[in-house]
Structure 1
Amino acid sequence: MGSTVDPGPIDKSVLYDQENHISSAIWEGQERSVLRCHEHTSMLEQWKLTPKQIELVEKAGFGYFRMIPTISLDNALISALVERWRRETNSFHLAVGEMTITLEDVALILGLPIDGKPVLGVTRPPGNMCENLLGEVPGDLTGGMLKLTWLKERFSTCPEDAPINEIERHTRAYLLYLVGCTIFSTTTGNKVSVMYLPLFKNFDEAGKFAWGAAALAFLYRSLGNASLKSQSTISGSLTLLQCWSYYRLNVGNPKFNKEPNDDFFPFALRWKGRATGPRSNSNIGTYRKALDSLQPSDVNWLPYKDLSFSPNLDDFSESLILQTSKTVLICFDKAERHLPDRCLRQFGMLQPIPKDVQQWERKIKWSNNGVDVTKQTNLQLKGKNQAELKEWIDRRLHIITDEENVDESMYMEWYERITRRFVGRPESLESEFQRIVTAMREIADIADSLSNGVMGFQDKQSLDEIKNTALNSLMDVVEDSKRSRRKIATKRKRDDDPSPNISKEVMLDVWMH
């Protein structure tokens, strides 16, 4: 079957970069190992903030974000999601259609502001920025990158009675460390770019930036890079990516030791203190197969609808109008498209065929003319980038609204032509059947090995129930596979791999022998 199935896209007008995508290599048998995930949050709890520091962090827009604990990353799940990410559309191409991480997800999961000034700034000599805003310069400051370990060693504990300028320096160091190990983490190791430091010069001004929009732009770029067959690492807010998957998809979700209280914000806190759950034995192949065969019932289109929270979040509520803004997201030199029109079911709308995506200028070129970073209106953007900045400024003019008379069957018919249907090669029914039979035999052998003269009637009866349950599970799997194969055969008007007519009697014979 694998040699005759066309994984797509049939129509290459949307996924024009398929040959460079990791799914092309996987289809040809060139597996890559699980991605190395760069998020360095394990040491964040070692920072001890004074009440005054917490006040400044809240002013800067990170009051809720700082409360998110370290969440253990499932590298295999992240790697499988990356295989479904397409930088042509900034969305996941799944069996049910396109889905993406939206501004709404960022605001509610991370508690970061998604409205405000674009995260742009000036570039000055790194040493000068450190001297002016931190009070000292590290000895190994190279390439504008500063070691996170140096920040922690020098600034993780601020004296309660420190003068205000010293408190501000410690707080700037904390904020630089915070963004450097989370939303702006890089694949260069345990380092952060000094270019973010001037954004924290004035804490009130820092609170006016759209940090959430910048975090999403950074993550989009990281996902796009990691989806290329040449890459082996990923950075950015992987906590956001993983929690998004937990909320949206029934794939690899951990179980709770106890159900969390609904009174929490940001929503990433829902996964604090969770049990290890089913993901402990999962690998990328398992996740890949689950995503390849994803059904609408496996998707929670509106995961936040019934969640409540008590804090006064008027600013967040007002900014959520931007969740359907078709706009550009900016993070310094990165410009990425936010395309909610391709994923309207995530907002409770019907999904029509979206308009074509034009390739966009992903790199912003700008000059600062020596002005202060907080004076955003004075930044001079060059050439086409003026349009990108204007698009963000006009973000409220590009809100997508619900359309009438939408036929989603037309969308799915179009989508199946333009998408990549499979990442891994589909397994034939015969192969799947033989593999499951082998596993079931092992269960039976284990059960038989437990049978002995000492075992009582009830124990023997329990073992017989185990065998019967295994056999019934086997029957269900085969019947599901046969139905799936018939559906594909009907749709493609031919039967590439006829499903074997396996009777229960034959299965029993295989089972017993």
Structure 2
Amino acid sequence: MAADRDVSLSGGTDHMELLKDWRLDDRVKSFLCNSRIYKYISELDAVRVDTKLVSFLCNSYEDGHFHIGNHRLYLGLQDIFYLTGLPIDGKPVISNSQDIDGLCERLLGRIPPKKNVVKSGYVGLKWLKEEFEEVNVPADSPDIHRYVRAYLLFVLGCVVFPGLPRHQVPGDYLHLFDDLSAIDDFAWGSAMLAHLHVALKRVRDKNSKGKNLSASCFILQIFALEHLPKLVTSYFGGDFELPKAIPLAGGWSKLLARYSRNNNKKFNMAEADEISLTPYNRVLISDPNFLDQFKLCGGRFYSICLDRIWFYSYEDCADQLGLPPVDNPLPKMDVGTLPKCRKGEQRDWEKYYEGYVAHWNDRQSTCVDLSLPAIVEDEMEFMPSPGIFTGVSPSSALVADGADQPLQEHTTEMPSPVIEEGPSLPSSHILPGGDSVLAVDQPPQKYQTKRRLRKWCRKKYYTFMVKPKRSRHPVLNLFL
């Protein structure tokens, strides 16, 4: 294994914060609300990436795998599928444009300035925000499409494909948004896989001068959280619930944002001795279309993200897919001799992609049978019935009378609430009860002070109350 290198993270939280600073107009949102890209980014919170953890992953990367202790982990399509919910099957994310200025003028109506743009063909993220954040056209105007395309290009550069130069995005992505009704027709998830692996390979390449990880560091962090159980316990202690809905990245970002204020612990290499190969069994899938996408995880093909191309094979992550290990993996597919491009010349993308696209178009024939995840027809069956109080975990609660005895998980029938008149407290106030909440009746008017209100609650719900840890919320603390 190559020696460890000091890694700089260009795909860090500054990109996510920049995305949250964009105040998305409702007219633009109406075009994107049903797209997979918007569902992915709309759930994200700006969190601080654990640089020590991501640097550890970079330095443990070798031959396409993360070598952690005596284990090997592979960042595969199933990880991208569950974490982001982006399509992994569809049209390849390739470039076919050489005149970026002409493309921007046609699809955005403006030519981006060359000032502060390091590489030719790139568009500044800050310029996109300044020019297109405020929408000045009616919702039924064709010009609204320019604002939608600008926001999508901004999203790709911030979260999906962040990289170098910082705060800039290749203008080649713009032609993919020519038809806004076909946003989900492209394999954004497979492109992200190629983008991540090529970035990791460049960091570890001893002949490469770059030590900067130009990819989504947040995805690498939550990939580690999914596969390293001890790391999750170190981050959140014992009082947390793992996200179960796709995209998992949204739930993880909220967890990290919630606990980062009170938890300053950082990654310890000693916490990486236990590996979970199949952590996604808990995930609830309600959309049958996800299964058609998931089948591609059992294939062998080249995933493409502009000039970043990565050969994906299910054989590298067979144990993570629940398949028997492959002793003699097949060699990579031959794509022939790639056309060379001299410095300063425009690459002939059609000839460059010819072999890769041919294998991509034949990707379905390379897929093996996988054990597909189950479809949940009605997620409400996992919700507790009305009027039932679900007990909290034994390690996080005590019974209300103060006895230091652990409370076992149980269900207790709640009495029918009696609403008493009183204008002071709305009936929407809640009483914490561990993992669930307890509805509080309207108190009489004489119970207005904090002390009397607490006394009334304890008297009325004495046998059903559970005393959790004190909350920072001033209203909830009234009942503790």
Confirm or deny a common fold (TM above 0.5).
Answer: yes
Map 1:402-441; keep pairs closer than 5 Å.
none
2:93 counterpart of 1:123:
no
Give the counterpart letter for 1:55 in structure 2: S
| Superimposed CA distance per residue, residues 415-456 of structure 1 (whole angstroms, 9 cap, x where no aligned partner) | xxxxxxxxxxxxxxxxxxxxxxxxxxxxxxxxxxxxxxxxxx
Distance between the aligned counterparts of 2:284 and 2:337, measured in 1? 38
Distance between the aligned counterparts of 1:116 and 1:190, measured in 2? 28
Distance between the aligned counterparts of 1:257 and 1:156, measured in 2? 41
Distance between the aligned counterparts of 1:149 and 1:395, measured in 2? 38
User: Does structure 2 retain, via aligned residues, the 8 Å contact 1:107–1:113?
Assistant: yes
- Structure with more of its chain in helix, by fraction: 1
CA distance 1:355–1:255, change in 2 (3 Å): same
Distance between the aligned counterparts of 1:218 and 1:261, measured in 2? 27
Map 1:238-317; keep pairs closer than 5 Å.
238-250=217-229, 252-253=231-232, 254-255=235-236, 259-260=240-241, 264-271=245-252, 272-274=254-256, 275-276=259-260, 280-282=264-266, 286-287=268-269, 290-291=271-272, 294=273, 298-309=274-285, 312-317=286-291
| Superimposed CA distance per residue, residues 357-398 of structure 1 (whole angstroms, 9 cap, x where no aligned partner) | 45976997699xxxxxxxxxxx8435xx53322221111211
Aligned position for 2:461? none
Distance between the aligned counterparts of 1:104 and 1:194, measured in 2? 28
Aligned position for 1:421? none
Aligned position for 1:320? 294
Aligned position for 1:74? 50
| Superimposed CA distance per residue, residues 35-75 of structure 1 (whole angstroms, 9 cap, x where no aligned partner) | 33324111212223334422322465413212222232111
Distance between the aligned counterparts of 1:154 and 1:130, measured in 2? 13
CA distance 1:165–1:402, change in 2 (3 Å): closer
Aligned position for 2:387? none
CA distance 1:125–1:60, change in 2 (3 Å): farther
Deviation at 1:226? 1.3
Give the counterpart letter for 1:54 in structure 2: K
| Superimposed CA distance per residue, residues 287-306 of structure 1 (whole angstroms, 9 cap, x where no aligned partner) | 3x554xx3xxx112211112
Distance between the aligned counterparts of 1:82 and 1:278, measured in 2? 27
CA distance 1:99–1:278, change in 2 (3 Å): farther
Q: Equivalent residue of 1:64, what SS?
A: helix
TM-score (norm 2): 0.66
Distance between the aligned counterparts of 1:59 and 1:362, measured in 2? 40
The unaligned stretches of length 5 or more in structure 2 are 342-348, 372-480
Of 178, 191, 197, the match for 2:155: 178
2:87 counterpart of 1:108:
no
CA distance 1:222–1:355, change in 2 (3 Å): same
Aligned position for 2:358? 390
CA distance 1:277–1:236, change in 2 (3 Å): same
Map 1:133-144; keep pairs closer than 5 Å.
133-140=107-114, 142=117, 143-144=120-121
Deviation at 1:168? 1.1
Of 345, 348, 351, the match for 1:381: 351
Deviation at 1:402? 7.6
Aligned position for 1:169? 146
CA distance 1:250–1:137, change in 2 (3 Å): same
Kindly tell me the number of residue pairs found equivalent between the two proteins: 351
Distance between the aligned counterparts of 1:85 and 1:133, measured in 2? 39
Distance between the aligned counterparts of 1:107 and 1:174, measured in 2? 23
Q: CA RMSD in A?
A: 3.1
CA distance 1:277–1:163, change in 2 (3 Å): closer
User: Does structure 2 retain, via aligned residues, the 8 Å contact 1:118–1:330?
Assistant: yes
| Superimposed CA distance per residue, residues 199-228 of structure 1 (whole angstroms, 9 cap, x where no aligned partner) | 111112332111111111111111111123
Aligned position for 2:445? none
Distance between the aligned counterparts of 1:41 and 1:364, measured in 2? 36
Q: Equivalent residue of 1:140, what SS?
A: coil
Distance between the aligned counterparts of 1:330 and 1:363, measured in 2? 17
Give the counterpart letter for 1:250 in structure 2: P
Aligned position for 1:203? 180
2:214 counterpart of 1:235:
yes
Aligned position for 2:6? 33
CA distance 1:353–1:278, change in 2 (3 Å): farther
User: Does structure 1 retain, via aligned residues, the 8 Å contact 2:138–2:144?
Assistant: no
Identity across aligned pairs (percent)? 24
Distance between the aligned counterparts of 1:181 and 1:364, measured in 2? 30
Aligned position for 2:17? 42
User: Does structure 2 retain, via aligned residues, the 8 Å contact 1:106–1:212?
Assistant: yes
Of 4, 21, 28, the match for 1:53: 28
4+ runs deviating over 6 angstroms: 359-364
CA distance 1:360–1:334, change in 2 (3 Å): farther
| Superimposed CA distance per residue, residues 148-174 of structure 1 (whole angstroms, 9 cap, x where no aligned partner) | 111111112325735532321111111
Q: Equivalent residue of 2:229, what SS?
A: coil
